[in-house]
Structure 1
Amino acid sequence: MKVLRLTPQTSLDLLPDYLWDGESPALSSRMVVCLRQGRIDRVVPRASYSPDGSQQLYLPHLTLLPGLVDAHVHLALDGLDFKAAVARWQDPEAMIHCIKKELEANLEHGILAIRDGGDASGWNLWARDRAPHEGPVPRIVATGRAVHKKGFYGSFLGPPLTPPFDWQRTVKDLAAGGSDQIKVIVSGLVTFKNWGEVGPVQFDFNELRLLVEAAHGRGLKVMAHANSDGAVRQAVEAGVDSVEHGYFVSDETLHKMAERGTYWAPTVAAVANRLQVAKAREYNPREQDIIRRTVELQLKKIAHAHKTGVRLIVGTDAGAPGVYHGRSYGDELSFFLAAGIPSRAVLRAATSIGAGALGLESELGSITPGKLPYLIAIAGNPLEDLSALQRLEVVIIPEKG
């Protein structure tokens, strides 16, 4: 795989044999993508292309498309050993090494933009601010530290809050600390002891509504960790921008999400990958059966969400047990396919729609004039066979990272 890191002064003409722009129902053949001053200037048929002396890069037999987006990761976790990863937060040298490896793994799988769901030590902010100076990395949207209620799930994601809540102050402090979006923990985790069991809801509707208003007042989106239909519905009605996980959501709530334009990252791999050989030993047969049933239901909900018009996005929850940065992205795509989602819809969730959830729709996610060239070139037609994404040949990324 070849990585091209482009400066803001770059003038370069890309000549792939095929192109998918992030939206179209089919590939285009023999197009030219002209980059000027580090941005996409125009996209023209090769038949009408007039070279102006700019450098040219031929990409024979390859398909050029937007870089992939992972809308939910945790760079401070590695998917291997949760306790060891959290302990490592106190070792800057080890953390920097691990985060660099995780960012490299994303690039190696064509993932050129990620949204980090937070960690209590704020390593995701370091990754966004410092890693681009070390070499080519994906574009990082960082939530900093997540909002959660004292005594409830989420202590490793951010400091606890105690009522009464001063949401204006909380959001102001998070924004001042560098948060690109606000991450709120609305519910607990899905447990596997009993079918459908989820940790309790942490905030009531009015509390969530006021948090969302405070965030939106500062131009910040809100991503909500929410499981159980009650938690998801409350978050959606409060106006959050994206729902993370969303296990046991009802069809009625999915309709509300479609009406409101709420993004949904179903994070199937975060549950399904617990059945991988090494992880499965941690669960007894009854718990393994509950995990399988939970995944089966989530796939049905994804199918219904697609039919309803929910803005599905691809988020792996990389760093969760058994979910690895970069390489687990293919797992999540395969679950979308298993839910019956057409390849083009999966690709849109992984590119243009995902970019919207990150608030980067004006910067990346499609091959459109004015956008930055976060691009990949692969061997094959991903609209016919998503496994073509595994045949990654070229990564093109702006110097700003």
Structure 2
Amino acid sequence: MCVENTLPPPSRLTRRGILAGAAALAGTTAALSAAVPPAAAAPSTTNADTNRDARHTGGTGGTGGTLVIDGGTLLDPATGEVTEDAVVVIVGGVVRAAGTRGRTRVPEGAEVVDAHGKWILPGLVEAHIHLNTAAEARDAVLKGATTARSGSTNFYQDIAVRELARQAPHLAPRLRAAGIFVTPDLGDTVLADPDLTPLARLRDGVRSPEALRRVVEVNLARGADVIKTRVNERAGLPEQDPLAQVYDREQLSAVVAAAKRGGKGVLCHSYSEKGCHDAVMAGVRSLEHGAFVGERTLREMRRRGTYFTPTLTAIAGLAESSDPVLAERGRTYLPVLERAVLAAHELGVPLAAGTDSSGGEVDPIGREVELMRKAGLPALDAIRTATTGAARLLGLEDRVGRLARGFAGDVLLVDGDPLADVTVLKKPARVVRSGFAL
């Protein structure tokens, strides 16, 4: 059975009700109604820089704070430049100036955060996380992820979280939302969205080109920024075989083509070498997990500019599972994935940091940086996977990942030199989100 004779998804008729339901599930409506900007932050201002930041980062404009970070050692991940006794000036949620004290003008009367004795970095970018609730979103920010890309949710909750971030940036990371997972079995999601209910009649699930296209089109109609699909089964379920392939190259190409028509890229859950290669050849924007990706595929990724988001944190977490199947899987997969990460780095494949946090538990994105370093990346390059590298993957390289004029006013203060010890990123001493000190 196929779905080519069903009506195309109406992007306006049901969108408001669907997304209202998603907001209720995520608790973002309640969070927004109770939201009060941090008391220490200056009143929001609307200006050209703020509005430009809104266009580039998905904000609405006029929602940023004004703040000065005074003292401390500033690290620019793009250049590796280190500036001692630095000053960062944020106005309306946007960096107006960053540099040495003598060359940086500080606005009179601005609220000041004392950073002496600390290192100053841009807020980190989490390239693969599942944010289902406002509470999870807030936790992610407090642990250092001021910008993120969703790895999908079961009912568009990430789209609701994205809207929360636009209205109250101190409550959630700036977010690229993926909507629902393009997978053979949509589960309860297929009954929750009226534009997906025809797919419930499909005997073999979402596998035909028409069905795959439908799920992508509905996601786009709901406002997804990226599309998430899979090529292999899950590693986190003991009853599944992560090396078993669920979609072939032709099916993946159908997903990529549908997403491309909407101007969006695709991230693909993967494990086996064949699955990874099929996904890359189909044109996905980034390969997720990819434990057994081989040199042939990595070279193709370098040629195409395909990103690798290994989610080392998630695989390391499997090794700590109480389930013996998952624990053995984690112990086996982690060293293989570490070697793949180092090979990717040495070949010049772009890497992005993502924890794959889900289920109500948010791992600090600094943990992924730590594991990138453990896999063999130099400290600065490991930091770049959660700053400039991940920012490029999200299409935000001119707005996040650095602290320079025109960039978002997202800041991490840490107790120690991250170039000497990246583990300091796991426990930020202070987080600033869009000019609001948290």
Per the TM superposition, whether the score is higher than 0.5 is: yes
CA-based RMSD: 3.0
User: How far does the alpha carbon of each residue in 1:68-104 deviate from its partner, in whole angstroms, 9 at most, with x for none?
Assistant: 122111223xxxxxxxxxxxxxxxxxxxxxx233223
CA contact (8 A) 1:5 1:398 kept: no
For residues 289 and 215 of structure 1, do their structure 2 counterparts lie closer, same or farther at Cα, with a shift above 3 Å needed?
A: closer
CA contact (8 A) 1:136 1:399 kept: no
1:69 corresponds to 2:125:
yes
For residues 3 and 62 of structure 1, do their structure 2 counterparts lie closer, same or farther at Cα, with a shift above 3 Å needed?
A: farther
1:49 corresponds to 2:114:
no
What does residue range 192-271 of structure 1 map to in structure 2 within 5 Å?
A: 198-271=242-315
Residue 54 of structure 1 and its aligned partner are, at CA, apart by 5.5
Match of residue 361 from structure 1? 397
**Equivalent-residue separation in structure 2 for 1:259 and 1:220 (angstroms):** 20
Residue 345 of structure 1 and its aligned partner are, at CA, apart by 0.9
1:144 corresponds to 2:179:
yes
For residues 315 and 156 of structure 1, do their structure 2 counterparts lie closer, same or farther at Cα, with a shift above 3 Å needed?
A: farther
The aligned amino acid for 1:242 is S
Match of residue 33 from structure 2? none
The aligned amino acid for 1:112 is T
Corresponding residue to 2:361 among 302, 311, 324? 324
Match of residue 274 from structure 1? 318
For residues 291 and 54 of structure 1, do their structure 2 counterparts lie closer, same or farther at Cα, with a shift above 3 Å needed?
A: same
What does residue range 363-382 of structure 1 map to in structure 2 within 5 Å?
A: 363-382=399-418
Query: Normalized against structure 2, the TM-score is what?
Result: 0.75
**Equivalent-residue separation in structure 2 for 1:314 and 1:39 (angstroms):** 24
Match of residue 200 from structure 2? none
1:28 corresponds to 2:72:
no
Match of residue 90 from structure 1? none
**Equivalent-residue separation in structure 2 for 1:129 and 1:42 (angstroms):** 28
CA contact (8 A) 2:74 2:119 kept: yes
Residue 140 of structure 1 and its aligned partner are, at CA, apart by 1.9
**Equivalent-residue separation in structure 1 for 2:243 and 2:66 (angstroms):** 53
Corresponding residue to 2:135 among 97, 101, 120? 101
User: How far does the alpha carbon of each residue in 1:154-203 deviate from its partner, in whole angstroms, 9 at most, with x for none?
Assistant: 64787752424266554332111111101112221248989x95353233
**Equivalent-residue separation in structure 2 for 1:342 and 1:4 (angstroms):** 37
The aligned amino acid for 2:181 is A
Moved more, 126-135 or 298-307: 126-135
Residue 247 of structure 1 and its aligned partner are, at CA, apart by 1.8
The aligned amino acid for 1:296 is P
**Equivalent-residue separation in structure 2 for 1:350 and 1:157 (angstroms):** 31
Structure 1, gaps ≥5 residues long = 77-98
For residues 35 and 182 of structure 1, do their structure 2 counterparts lie closer, same or farther at Cα, with a shift above 3 Å needed?
A: same
Residue 235 of structure 1 and its aligned partner are, at CA, apart by 1.0
**Equivalent-residue separation in structure 2 for 1:192 and 1:213 (angstroms):** 30
**Equivalent-residue separation in structure 2 for 1:24 and 1:305 (angstroms):** 21
Query: Normalized against structure 1, the TM-score is what?
Result: 0.81
Residue 46 of structure 1 and its aligned partner are, at CA, apart by 1.6
**Equivalent-residue separation in structure 2 for 1:193 and 1:139 (angstroms):** 33
**Equivalent-residue separation in structure 1 for 2:280 and 2:81 (angstroms):** 34
User: How far does the alpha carbon of each residue in 1:18-52 deviate from its partner, in whole angstroms, 9 at most, with x for none?
Assistant: 10122222421123323334312233322223445
1:293 corresponds to 2:329:
no
Match of residue 124 from structure 1? 158
User: How far does the alpha carbon of each residue in 1:323-369 deviate from its partner, in whole angstroms, 9 at most, with x for none?
Assistant: 93034x34433322221111111110011111222232232111122
**Equivalent-residue separation in structure 1 for 2:252 and 2:89 (angstroms):** 45
Structure 2, gaps ≥5 residues long = 1-37, 47-64, 191-195, 197-204
1:336 corresponds to 2:372:
yes
User: How far does the alpha carbon of each residue in 1:196-244 deviate from its partner, in whole angstroms, 9 at most, with x for none?
Assistant: 9535323332332232233223221211111211111111111111111
Report the secondary structure of 2:116's partner residue: strand
Report the secondary structure of 1:175's partner residue: helix
Report the secondary structure of 1:55's partner residue: coil
Give the number of the structure with larger relative contact order, counting CA–CA contacts within 8 Å between residues 6 or more apart: 1
